[in-house]
Amino acid sequence: MRRAIALARTQVGRTGDNPSVGCVIVRDGAVVGEGVTAPGGRPHAEEQALIQAGEGARGATAYVTLEPCGQRSSGAPSCSALLAQAGMARVVVACDDASTFAGGRGMARLRAAGVRLDQGLLGAEAADLYSAYRPAK
Ligand SMILES: Nc1c(N[C@@H]2O[C@H](COP(=O)(O)O)[C@@H](O)[C@H]2O)[nH]c(=O)[nH]c1=O
Protein backbone atom coordinates (compact mmCIF):
# COMPACT_ATOMS: atom_id res chain seq x y z
CA MET A 1 0.00 0.00 0.00
CA ARG A 2 2.94 2.30 0.60
CA ARG A 3 3.89 1.84 -3.03
CA ALA A 4 0.30 2.51 -4.16
CA ILE A 5 0.21 5.72 -2.12
CA ALA A 6 3.56 6.82 -3.58
CA LEU A 7 2.22 6.21 -7.09
CA ALA A 8 -0.99 8.14 -6.39
CA ARG A 9 1.01 11.04 -4.99
CA THR A 10 2.73 11.54 -8.36
CA GLN A 11 -0.56 12.56 -10.02
CA VAL A 12 -2.33 14.56 -7.30
CA GLY A 13 -3.60 17.78 -8.93
CA ARG A 14 -3.20 16.39 -12.46
CA THR A 15 -6.30 14.20 -12.73
CA GLY A 16 -9.03 16.83 -13.16
CA ASP A 17 -12.22 16.05 -11.23
CA ASN A 18 -11.09 12.46 -10.76
CA PRO A 19 -9.07 11.52 -7.68
CA SER A 20 -5.52 10.27 -8.18
CA VAL A 21 -5.56 6.58 -7.29
CA GLY A 22 -2.64 4.16 -7.00
CA CYS A 23 -2.95 0.40 -7.55
CA VAL A 24 -0.32 -2.30 -7.01
CA ILE A 25 -1.04 -5.97 -7.81
CA VAL A 26 1.01 -8.54 -5.93
CA ARG A 27 1.17 -12.27 -6.52
CA ASP A 28 3.37 -14.68 -4.58
CA GLY A 29 5.25 -11.77 -3.02
CA ALA A 30 6.12 -10.08 -6.33
CA VAL A 31 4.63 -6.99 -7.95
CA VAL A 32 3.01 -8.11 -11.23
CA GLY A 33 1.28 -4.85 -12.14
CA GLU A 34 0.89 -1.28 -11.03
CA GLY A 35 -0.87 1.84 -12.17
CA VAL A 36 -1.89 5.34 -11.27
CA THR A 37 -4.78 7.42 -12.58
CA ALA A 38 -3.63 9.00 -15.83
CA PRO A 39 -3.32 12.78 -16.30
CA GLY A 40 -6.84 14.12 -16.92
CA GLY A 41 -8.35 11.29 -14.85
CA ARG A 42 -8.51 8.34 -17.26
CA PRO A 43 -7.63 5.51 -17.66
CA HIS A 44 -8.07 4.55 -14.03
CA ALA A 45 -5.27 3.07 -11.94
CA GLU A 46 -6.73 -0.44 -11.78
CA GLU A 47 -7.27 -0.63 -15.56
CA GLN A 48 -3.60 0.03 -16.16
CA ALA A 49 -2.37 -2.28 -13.40
CA LEU A 50 -4.58 -5.11 -14.70
CA ILE A 51 -3.28 -4.73 -18.26
CA GLN A 52 0.27 -4.94 -16.93
CA ALA A 53 -0.50 -7.95 -14.74
CA GLY A 54 -2.32 -9.94 -17.45
CA GLU A 55 -2.82 -13.55 -16.30
CA GLY A 56 -0.70 -12.72 -13.25
CA ALA A 57 -3.78 -11.06 -11.74
CA ARG A 58 -5.45 -14.45 -11.17
CA GLY A 59 -5.33 -15.28 -7.47
CA ALA A 60 -3.41 -12.06 -6.72
CA THR A 61 -3.93 -9.24 -4.22
CA ALA A 62 -4.58 -5.65 -5.33
CA TYR A 63 -3.62 -2.76 -3.05
CA VAL A 64 -5.70 0.29 -4.01
CA THR A 65 -5.63 3.71 -2.34
CA LEU A 66 -9.36 4.36 -2.94
CA GLU A 67 -12.42 2.14 -3.23
CA PRO A 68 -12.48 0.81 -6.82
CA CYS A 69 -15.30 2.42 -8.78
CA GLY A 70 -18.58 0.53 -9.07
CA GLN A 71 -19.68 2.37 -12.21
CA ARG A 72 -17.98 4.42 -14.94
CA SER A 73 -19.39 7.74 -16.15
CA SER A 74 -18.80 6.50 -19.73
CA GLY A 75 -20.67 3.23 -19.19
CA ALA A 76 -17.42 1.25 -19.59
CA PRO A 77 -16.88 -1.67 -17.19
CA SER A 78 -16.14 -0.48 -13.65
CA CYS A 79 -12.80 -1.16 -11.97
CA SER A 80 -14.49 -3.42 -9.40
CA ALA A 81 -15.98 -5.49 -12.25
CA LEU A 82 -12.59 -5.67 -14.00
CA LEU A 83 -10.83 -6.74 -10.79
CA ALA A 84 -13.41 -9.46 -10.16
CA GLN A 85 -13.31 -10.62 -13.78
CA ALA A 86 -9.52 -10.90 -13.63
CA GLY A 87 -9.85 -13.45 -10.81
CA MET A 88 -8.32 -11.31 -8.06
CA ALA A 89 -8.35 -13.19 -4.75
CA ARG A 90 -8.11 -10.19 -2.45
CA VAL A 91 -8.45 -6.41 -2.66
CA VAL A 92 -7.05 -4.16 0.05
CA VAL A 93 -8.45 -0.61 0.07
CA ALA A 94 -7.08 2.36 2.03
CA CYS A 95 -9.96 4.88 1.76
CA ASP A 96 -13.68 4.90 0.96
CA ASP A 97 -14.94 6.83 -2.09
CA ALA A 98 -18.22 8.68 -1.42
CA SER A 99 -18.74 9.31 -5.15
CA THR A 100 -22.04 8.41 -6.79
CA PHE A 101 -19.89 6.08 -8.96
CA ALA A 102 -18.62 4.22 -5.89
CA GLY A 103 -20.20 4.83 -2.47
CA GLY A 104 -19.74 1.24 -1.35
CA ARG A 105 -20.98 -0.25 -4.63
CA GLY A 106 -17.47 -1.09 -5.77
CA MET A 107 -16.90 -2.98 -2.54
CA ALA A 108 -20.29 -4.71 -2.77
CA ARG A 109 -19.55 -5.89 -6.29
CA LEU A 110 -16.21 -7.36 -5.24
CA ARG A 111 -17.73 -9.02 -2.17
CA ALA A 112 -20.49 -10.55 -4.29
CA ALA A 113 -17.82 -12.00 -6.59
CA GLY A 114 -16.20 -13.74 -3.61
CA VAL A 115 -13.15 -11.46 -3.48
CA ARG A 116 -11.68 -11.08 0.02
CA LEU A 117 -11.78 -7.42 1.08
CA ASP A 118 -9.78 -5.49 3.64
CA GLN A 119 -10.36 -1.80 4.32
CA GLY A 120 -8.42 0.95 6.04
CA LEU A 121 -4.79 -0.12 5.55
CA LEU A 122 -2.73 3.11 5.83
CA GLY A 123 -6.06 4.94 5.68
CA ALA A 124 -4.81 8.12 7.34
CA GLU A 125 -1.82 8.42 5.00
CA ALA A 126 -3.94 7.79 1.94
CA ALA A 127 -6.65 10.23 3.10
CA ASP A 128 -4.07 13.01 2.79
CA LEU A 129 -4.15 12.44 -0.98
CA TYR A 130 -7.86 13.21 -1.07
CA SER A 131 -8.11 16.38 1.01
CA ALA A 132 -8.98 18.43 -2.12
CA TYR A 133 -11.05 15.68 -3.81
CA ARG A 134 -14.78 16.40 -4.11
CA PRO A 135 -16.66 13.14 -4.86
CA ALA A 136 -19.18 13.34 -7.73
CA LYS A 137 -22.79 13.71 -6.52
N1 LIG B 1 -9.73 7.87 -10.66
C2 LIG B 1 -10.17 6.65 -10.27
C3 LIG B 1 -11.46 6.48 -9.74
N4 LIG B 1 -12.33 7.52 -9.65
C5 LIG B 1 -13.72 7.33 -9.27
O6 LIG B 1 -14.45 6.74 -10.35
C7 LIG B 1 -15.55 7.60 -10.72
C8 LIG B 1 -15.91 7.42 -12.17
O9 LIG B 1 -14.80 7.81 -12.96
P10 LIG B 1 -14.95 8.10 -14.53
O11 LIG B 1 -15.69 6.94 -15.11
O12 LIG B 1 -13.53 8.21 -15.03
O13 LIG B 1 -15.71 9.38 -14.69
C14 LIG B 1 -15.07 8.99 -10.30
O15 LIG B 1 -16.17 9.88 -10.15
C16 LIG B 1 -14.41 8.67 -8.97
O17 LIG B 1 -15.37 8.45 -7.96
N18 LIG B 1 -11.84 5.23 -9.33
C19 LIG B 1 -11.01 4.16 -9.47
O20 LIG B 1 -11.41 3.03 -9.13
N21 LIG B 1 -9.78 4.33 -9.98
C22 LIG B 1 -9.31 5.51 -10.40
O23 LIG B 1 -8.16 5.58 -10.89
The pLDDT of residue 10 is 98
The pLDDT of residue 117 is 98
The residue type of 51 is I
8-state DSSP, 123: H
CA distance 37 to 120: 20
CA distances from 74 to 14, 55, 59, 68, 112 (A): 20, 26, 28, 15, 23
The pLDDT of residue 136 is 96
Q: Which of 121, 120, 56 is nearest to 89 (CA)?
A: 56
The pLDDT of residue 9 is 98
Whether 78 is in the pocket of ligand 1, judged by its Cβ within 6 Å, is: no
The pLDDT of residue 20 is 98
Active site residue 34: no
Instruction: Compute the C-alpha angle 130/91/70, nearest 5°.
Output: 65
The pLDDT of residue 83 is 98
Whether 69 is in the pocket of ligand 1, judged by its Cβ within 6 Å, is: yes
Q: Is the pTM of this model over 0.95?
A: yes
The pLDDT of residue 13 is 97
The pLDDT of residue 95 is 98
The pLDDT of residue 23 is 99
Q: Which of 42, 38, 50 is nearest to 10 (CA)?
A: 38
In the chain, which stretches have pLDDT less than 70?
A: none
Q: Which of 12, 18, 80 to mutate to test the pocket of ligand 1 (most atoms within 8 A of CB)?
A: 18
Q: How many helices and strands in the chain, by DSSP H and E?
A: 5, 5
The pLDDT of residue 58 is 98
Whether 102 is in the pocket of ligand 1, judged by its Cβ within 6 Å, is: yes
The pLDDT of residue 55 is 98
Domains of the chain, CATH where assigned:
1-128 (3.40.140.10)
